[in-house]
Amino acid sequence: MMTSASRRWLICFTLPALLAFLLGGGSAAAATYYLTIDELAVNFTGKPRQAMAINGSVPAPLLRFREGEEVTIHVTNKLAVDSSVHWHGFILPNAMDGVPGMTFPGIKPGETFTYRFTIAQNGTYWYHSHSGLQEQAGIYGPIIIDPATPGPVAHDRDYVVMLSDWTDEKPEQVLANLKKQSDYYNYNQRTVGDFFRDVGEKGWRATLRDRRMWGEMRMTPTDIADVTGYSFLINGKTAEENWTALFKAGERVRLRFINGSAMSYFDVEIPGLRMQVIAADGQNVQPVTVDSFRIAVAETYDVIVTPERDIPFTIFAQAMDRSGYARATLAPRPGQAAAIPEMDPRKLLTMADMGHDMGDMGQEMGDMDAMSHETDERAHMNHDDMGKMGAAMHDMAQPAPHHGHGRHDGDVASAMHAHPETARAEPAAPRVLRYGDLQSLDAHADRRPTREIALRLTGNMERYFWSINDKKYSEAEPIRLRYNERVRIKFINQTMMTHPMHLHGHWMELDNGAGSFKPRKHVISIAPGETVYFDLTADAVGDWAFHCHLLYHMATGMFRKLIVEPAPEATLAPQTGGGDA
């Protein structure tokens, strides 16, 4: 919903920087940007509503920076309440991070705050309010940072595909509904008919045991997402409005997927096209070709597609709970559209998803966890194994491939049996991106962690609050690290929900078995019952936010302050050990 006026407003301030770059032989110049936060009338559902917007646009205007550029960004708040802008995934000075009450006081109504920092990275990122629930109301937008030197992957066209969820309800009302009745938005409660169907499949004893376990956990197998009933958007357009990106047959098209939702995960595919994933969370990865991928709230993925035929293709993003979808089109000409596929069946949680009844794998994980208390050297080896196990568990939690589109051209597996009848009968199964597929394009040389911190993701669905190590943010002590300390963080998800955990101001090096090529991420998604490790170098002094990026989870307590304390003048001996933070 970006207006032509807002486009002109943004461009007039970025054009001098572009000219300076072109005329200056490649050195990035200083540039000034002006952003205004205000209310905006919108209509995504057939009913007029008031949103919050930046420069009269939902999503906010695309900001395009250049690596090494010195930026000055004046943000004026015309709302009746405080606001803010957080530069998601940016490595920047602590005072510029944009978290009210932690890194700056926020922006009062009628006031302007000026952000100043040097762009220290490149890739696909985004920006959003970190005040209250304003992100859900419309204050979010995409960012592209062009590299200082040509990137590793060439492309002919470049598009942002920003996914988001919209509700006509005020975000504060959504949260009030959840606090009053945690399953308020669960429109798929199990019925008596489901009970007898389970009896027919599993028998009385197994069914009664299963129901008893769910009852003790005060949840149901349909608790995939907290909030449903959303309208899903791509670049501010509904499925009916059909946002469209143009191409010519044979061109390499870069699609920069950003999940700017408040609460919604998506499974993304483009029927008829395979996608080459080239970046995750703004960082280049070794290319991997897939048919679909799951994108967590706040993650970004860059893919290359090469349409060889002069026909339209549907960009299809199903909500993880199958409550709806977002849709856009890649087309040779304006006005074209391709068929919209049917959504996959809705998945039900199982006790295996919850970490129960996991048989040999559960026993193996328990044995390995017990071993981790041995010597530092042995512990490091065990953590590597556990990282691989965590990646395997995450892969198990990923969606089943969509089967409704038939075989793609060129999908016959190279490893098929040699027998001709077998080769004809067994086309390759669609490939879904896994965390285990991600490897950084470049190796990261760093030290081994000297200690481990365990963070258990916890909560109470019935009372609707979320926590870390059983404590809400208001009850918890900060996590304290020394400057330049190398630590290992252990996420243990003890809840029924998948949590996208986001750390400000630092990279999280996901331990997925890739060794020195661990992918660097600013969001790591942890499925129910899953344990995941990442390594962290505390190289940015200050107070940093560390939280679940599901908005209503963050708002009700799944949030921590991480403090990186300045280095003492005397060198301290490295710490060992660990435990809950």
Q: Which helix (H) or strand (E) holds 174?
A: helix 171-180
Residue 228 lies in a domain: no
Average pLDDT over residues 339-353: 77
Domain boundary among 151, 180, 205: 151
Domain boundary among 151, 178, 202: 151
Q: What is the pLDDT of residue 197?
A: 63
Q: Which helix (H) or strand (E) holds 580?
A: strand 578-580
Which of 529-538, 546-555, 564-573 is predicted with the least confidence, judged by mean pLDDT?
564-573
pLDDT bucket at 9, cuts 50 / 70 / 90: very low
| Distance of alpha carbon 51 from the chain centroid | 23
| Torsion region of 422: left, alpha or beta (phi above 0 gives left; psi -120 to 50 gives alpha) | alpha
Instruction: Tokens for 515, please give them.
Output: 């060794």
| Distance of alpha carbon 551 from the chain centroid | 12
Q: What is the pLDDT of residue 213?
A: 59
Average pLDDT over residues 404-424: 35
Percent of the chain with pLDDT over 70: 72
Sequence-distant (6+) residues with CB within 8 A of 536 are: 481, 486, 487, 488, 489, 503, 506, 507, 508, 509
> Among positive and negative, which fits the CA dihedral 200, 205, 208, 212?
negative
Residue 375 lies in a domain: no
Average pLDDT over residues 180-190: 66
Our CA angle for 248, 253, 257, nearest 5°, is 140
pLDDT higher than threshold 90 for residue 269: yes
Domain boundary among 151, 172, 201: 151
Residue 72 lies in a domain: yes
Q: What is the pLDDT of residue 181?
A: 81
Q: What is the pLDDT of residue 219?
A: 55
pLDDT higher than threshold 80 for residue 347: no
Residue 66 lies in a domain: yes
Average pLDDT over residues 9-22: 43
pLDDT tens digits, residue range 298-311?
A: 999 999 999 999 99
pLDDT higher than threshold 50 for residue 381: no
pLDDT bucket at 368, cuts 50 / 70 / 90: very low
DSSP strand pairing (292-295 vs 486-493)? unpaired
Q: What is the pLDDT of residue 399?
A: 56
Give me the number of domains the chain comprises. 2
- Give the domain extent around 121: 4-151
Residue 61 lies in a domain: yes
User: Where residue 476 sits, what CATH number does that domain have?
Assistant: 2.60.40.420
Q: What is the pLDDT of residue 428?
A: 75
pTM (2 d.p.) = 0.81
Instruction: Tokens for 537, please give them.
Output: 């170098």
pLDDT higher than threshold 70 for residue 69: yes
Residue 519 lies in a domain: yes
Residue 270 lies in a domain: no
Residue 313 lies in a domain: no
Q: Name the more confident of 579 and 416.
A: 579
* C-alpha distances in Å from residue 394, one per residue of 391, 399, 511, 529, 533: 5, 10, 12, 10, 12
pLDDT tens digits, residue range 204-235?
A: 676 566 556 545 555 555 456 789 899 999 99
